[in-house]
Amino acid sequence: MKLIALPAFADNYIWLLHTDRHALVVDPGDSAPVLAWMQAHPSLQLDTILVTHHHADHTGGLAELVARTGARVLGPALEQMPVPTQGLQQGDGFDWHGLQFQVHEVPGHTLGHIAFWAQPTGQDPLLFCGDTLFSGGCGRLFEGTPAQMLDSLDRLAALPGASRVCCAHEYTLSNLKFALAVEPGNLALQDHWAHCTRLRSQTLPTLPVALHTECAINPFLRSRQASVAAAVRQHDRLAVDDVTTFAALRQWKNDFR
């Protein structure tokens, strides 16, 4: 299994996974990068498209890709898709050429948001998490509640630490800048900031990133850690428990410049 990040729009990634003959893409907000890649690799067939949530920058390319390739689309059962879709919910699974995918409901960014996890043979696991978990951050709460997002992130954090986090946006440096404001003494975070800064200076993706790295540097996965909670409560004295602390952390990020 080979994994490729196809850039789209200003900062999206469309993830493409392929074997020697078949390809799968995740969250194709734009059909053009996918079609161009497929044209350059005529021996491969795009047969499956995964969608994490309904936002247009994740679904805008679906209609043309389905029309051009006939690929099946699998996405959230609780959200409206622009093309016929096999709806998936928590606990569902499916097979893609011998690779078994698990489906996790992760509401917060949207109410029906899902994530896909799989363990390729001989490789680190894959986590396609859309806009729920970003490197160094998490998605804005457009539809869900802080309690929902905290629970969603808790469940993602419980997956194997070697899982490769394949989120849908290159937001890493801006997220890490905020994370350093929250937890300036975090040595792992300082090292990761330097690493990602070098990558972006070469216009290379900062993704995928190991989940265990995220658990060490991402304030939204660390909101119960004493260092993070203390910083949040100094910023907002109404943060008195896990949920209000997480809500205050998310609002702090919303306002951070």
User: Catalytic: 55?
Assistant: yes
- Note whether 132 and 156 are within 8 A (CB): yes
Catalytic residue among 18, 58, 104, 113: 58
Catalytic residue among 18, 54, 104, 109: 109
User: Catalytic: 235?
Assistant: no
* CA proximity to 138, closest of 129, 127, 128, 125: 129
Catalytic residue among 57, 104, 151, 192: 57
User: Catalytic: 97?
Assistant: no
Name 161's Cβ contacts closer than 8 Å, sequence gap at least 6. Answer: 210, 211, 212, 215
Total residues found in the chain within this entry: 257
Bridge-based pairing state of the strands 45-50 and 72-76? parallel
User: Catalytic: 124?
Assistant: no
User: Catalytic: 169?
Assistant: yes
Catalytic residue among 30, 131, 151, 192: 131
Catalytic residue among 18, 54, 169, 192: 169
Q: How far apart are CA 11 and CA 45, in angstroms?
A: 26
Catalytic residue among 18, 30, 54, 55: 55
Q: Is the dihedral of CA 193, 177, 197, 217 positive or negative?
A: positive
Catalytic residue among 18, 53, 54, 192: 53
User: Catalytic: 18?
Assistant: no
- Note whether 151 and 246 are within 8 A (CB): no
User: Catalytic: 57?
Assistant: yes
End-to-end CA distance of the chain: 39
- Note whether 79 and 116 are within 8 A (CB): no
Catalytic residue numbers read 53, 55, 57-58, 109, 131, 169
